[in-house]
Structure 1
Amino acid sequence: MTNPAPIEDVPIGGEGIRLGQFLKFAGVLDSGGEVKEAIIDGYVTVNDEVDRRRGRQLQVGDVVAFEGRRVRVCP
């Protein structure tokens, strides 16, 4: 049994942010094209569920994962 990756807290300076914006802001992916492709192809999870909506509004406490990296939205 493997341990999940540690969760990195990423402060956004507010209460909400869109999934696509957050992936770039947190440095998980570098470009909007990469973000779009990763989300549409189902490689990104939010709170352990695949979400294919780039515009999904994230809230403080949501955990986003991509390729073994996990980041949590913080205020």
Structure 2
Amino acid sequence: MSEPVRDVPITGEPIRLGQFLKLAGLAEDGAHAKDLIEAEEVTVNGEVETRRGRQLSAGDVVTVGRERGRVSLAH
């Protein structure tokens, strides 16, 4: 079973997938983010995403393994 979705606030839209993975703590660094994406271990809104530069917007849910993070706008 998956963990609850954790809201990850960002300061501006859009944000690239690779950046979000690092910000959300789903990847240790840029190289780790790239490896996860290339290994098809990352989904965005339930679909496998292989583009590190994929633009994410508020409400998008990114999943790596059992961990999930939702893009939310910082107030």
Shorter-chain TM-score above 0.5: yes
Identity score, percent: 53
Count of aligned positions: 73
What is the distance in 2 between the residues matched to 1:5 and 1:27? 14
4+ aligned runs moved over 2 Å, structure 1 = none
Cα RMSD of the aligned pairs, angstroms, is 0.9
Deviation per CA, 1:17-70: give whole Å up to 9, x if none.
Answer: 000000001111111111101001100000000000000000100000001000
1:49 match: 47
Which ranges of structure 1 fall in alignment gaps of 5 or more residues? Answer: none
- Segments of structure 2 that go 5 or more residues without pairing to the other structure are none
Q: TM-score under structure 1 normalisation?
A: 0.92
Q: Normalising by the residue count of structure 2, what TM-score does the alignment of the two structures yield?
A: 0.92
